A and B are shown apart, each in its own frame.
Chain A
Amino acid sequence: MAHDRGPFKLSNPWPVIGWGVVAGALVVSVVLGFGVLSRFQQNAPTLDLWAAICRGLGITSDTAPATQPQPALNTPTRIAWTPSTLEQIASGDAERGAFIAMNCVACHGQRGVSGSDVYPTLAGMSPAVIYKQLDDFRTGKRPWGVMGGVAKALSDQDSADVAAYFASQPNGLPPVDGYRVPEPGRSLRETNPAKRLAFAGDPARGIPPCAACHGQGGYKIGAPALQQQRPDYIEAELQFFAQGVRANDIFGQMRNIAKQLTPDEMHALALFYSESGGPQASIR
C-alpha cells in the first residue's frame, strides 16, 4: 500500500492535506504573533497595525527621546571603561611612575603605604582605580583641593605611569581578585553586623554585599580594595558618598549604598576592613 503513496504523488490526497495544514498553521501563527499579539496589547494604544508588525519583528522607529525639558547633563566622571581607556592604563610604565611618585609620598607615605589617617594607602591599589580617581580629581568630579592641584599637573600618561608604580608596591592593599573561600559566618545569619554587610549585604534595604564589588570573592572594575585601608579614610568616604559630596561613582554605585548605611554601620565597616585580621587573613 505504502509503495504507491509517495508524499509527492498528486493522486494521493493526504500529502496535499498535510502540506495545507502546515501552510495554514504558518499563516495563522504569523497573523496571531505579529499582527494580533503585537497590536492588541492593552497598553500600546499609540501603535497602528503597521508599527505593531514592525515592533513584533524587532524593527522599530521608536527611538525619540522624551520631549520633557531635560535637566542639565550631569556626568559623574569622564572615564568609561572602554578598550582604549584600559589600553592607556595598561601602558603605564612603573619605572617612570617611580619618579612621579616622589611628589606623592610626602602625603601618601613611602612607597604609597600611608601612615596617616587622612591619606589613603595607594600601594597595591588597582591601577584602574588610581587612574580614574586622578582623572576625577583633575576635572573636579571628585572635589578635593590638594589632590585637584596635584592631579592637574599630571598628563594622562603620567597618571597611567604613577598608577602602575603604586599598584606594584608591596605591603599595602592586597590585590582584589574573584577568589572566593567558603567560610562560616559569610551569610545573612552572621551576628557581627559589619561582617554580615560585607559578605551578605542587606537584601531588605537593597544593599549588595561589599565583597561582591570590593573583593574578596567578587570584583567590579573601578572598585578599590578596602582591606588594610586606613579606617578613618574609609569612614570619611562613606560619609561623603552618603551626603553626595563625593559623586564620582558611575551610576551612583556607592552613593546609593552609602545613603542606606547608618553612621554606626559605617564606623563598624571601616574598622572591619582596616583590621589586619579582617577578611584578608582568611584568604592567604
Chain B
Amino acid sequence: MAETETHPLRRRLPDGIMPEEEITRTENRWVAVMLGMLGLMMVVIVVTGITDSLHPPSNVETIDPTTLHLGGEFAESNLGTAREPDGSVTARLVADQYAFVPSCTLVPADTPVKFRLTSTDVIHGFLLPVTNVNTMVVPGYIAEVRTTFTRTGVYSMPCNEFCGSGHHGMLAKVEVVPAEQFPTLTADERTSCAK
C-alpha cells in the first residue's frame, strides 16, 4: 500500500499532469540515447571516410549536356585515359542512355587516377566495386573522383542508377593494367579491353 503511494507512476495525478521529475528523467534518458546514436554515426562516417577514402560528392563544374560531342573536353576523340605531366592519369568518360563511352577504359595500377564523367541525358551511376569510386553522373555537371588501383584486372559494373528501359544493358568497364605496361599502349588500345 505504501508502495502505490510513493511510486510516481501510481500516484494520483494532479489535474492529469505527469510529475515533473518523471518527465525530466525520461527526457534525459532519450537525450542520452540520441546523443549516443549521433556520436556513433559520426564516428562511422569519419572512420570509413578516411580509411576507405569515400568522397563526398563535392565537385561543382557545369557543362552543356546537349553539345558535348561537338567539341571541348568531352568530344569523342578526347575520351579515355590521358597522362598528366606529374605522372598521374585522367580518365574522361561520357555516360548516355545506354552506354559508358568509351565502353572500356584502361588505367594503370599504382598510379593516381582521376575520373571525370558527365552525362548527356539522365542521371547515371558509376561504381567500381571494392574501390572508393562511386559517383552519380548528372547531366549538366562534371563528376570527379580520384583513386589509386592496387589490383590489376577488369572491373565490370552495370550502371548504378536506374536510367530507363535499357538500363540493364549499360555496363561500365575499367581494366587496370600494370603500371609499366600502360605507357606502351596507344590511345586506341587504351579504350578497348583485352578480349
Contact = CB atoms under 8 A, between A and B. Distances in A.
Interface of A: 1-2, 29, 32-33, 36-38, 40-46, 55-60, 62-63, 65-68, 70-78, 80-82, 180, 201-203, 206-209, 211-213, 217-218, 220, 250-253, 256-257
Nearest to A45: B112
22 contacts: A2-B20, A36-B46, A37-B50, A41-B132, A41-B146, A43-B146, A46-B86, A56-B56, A66-B83, A70-B78, A70-B82, A74-B76, A75-B76, A76-B69, A201-B168, A206-B170, A208-B170, A209-B165, A209-B169, A212-B97, A213-B98, A251-B68
A33 B68 CA distance: 33
B165 A65 contact: no
Contact of B84 (A32, A56, A67): A67
User: Interface residue tally of chain B, by bracket?
Assistant: 35 or more
Contacts of A42: 53, 132, 148
A12 to B, nearest CB: 13
A65 B99 contact: no
Nearest to B168: A203
B165 A211 contact: yes
Interface string B132-146: 100000000000101
Given A56-B58, A75-B70, A251 B94 contact: yes
A245 to B, nearest CB: 16
A80 B144 CA distance: 25
Contacts of A257: 99
Contacts of A72: 77
A207 B169 contact: yes
Contacts of B42: 29, 32
B39 to A, nearest CB: 10
A209 B166 contact: yes
Contacts of A71: 77-78, 187
B148 A43 contact: yes
B50 A73 contact: no
What does DSSP make chain B's interface, helix, strand, loop or mixed? mixed
Nearest to A57: B58
Interface in B62-78: 66-71, 73, 75-78
B77 A218 contact: no
A140 B10 CA distance: 91
Contacts of A68: 82-84
Contacts of B113: 43
Contacts of B132: 41-43
A46 B87 CA distance: 12
B166 A213 contact: yes
A73 B71 contact: yes
A43 B171 CA distance: 25
Interface of B: 20, 42, 46, 49-50, 53, 55-56, 58-61, 66-71, 73, 75-78, 82-86, 88, 90, 92, 94, 96-99, 101, 103, 112-113, 120, 132, 144, 146-148, 158, 164-171, 173, 187
A82 B69 CA distance: 12
A214 to B, nearest CB: 10
B70 A55 contact: no
Contacts of B164: 212, 218
Given A37-B56, A212-B164, A82 B66 contact: yes
B112 A220 contact: no
A80 B70 CA distance: 8
Contacts of A32: 42, 46
A38 B56 contact: yes
B120 A208 contact: no
Nearest to A33: B56
Contacts of B92: 66
A7 to B, nearest CB: 14
The 4 A-B pairs with the shortest beta carbon distances in the complex, nearest first, are A212-B166, A208-B169, A208-B166, A66-B82
A67 B166 contact: no
Contacts of A256: 99, 101, 103
A40 B169 CA distance: 36
B165 A212 contact: yes
Given A71-B77, A212-B164, 16 more contacts: A43-B113, A58-B60, A60-B60, A62-B59, A62-B144, A65-B73, A67-B84, A67-B85, A68-B82, A81-B66, A82-B66, A206-B170, A208-B167, A218-B165, A251-B69, A253-B96
A47 B82 CA distance: 20
A213 B169 CA distance: 12
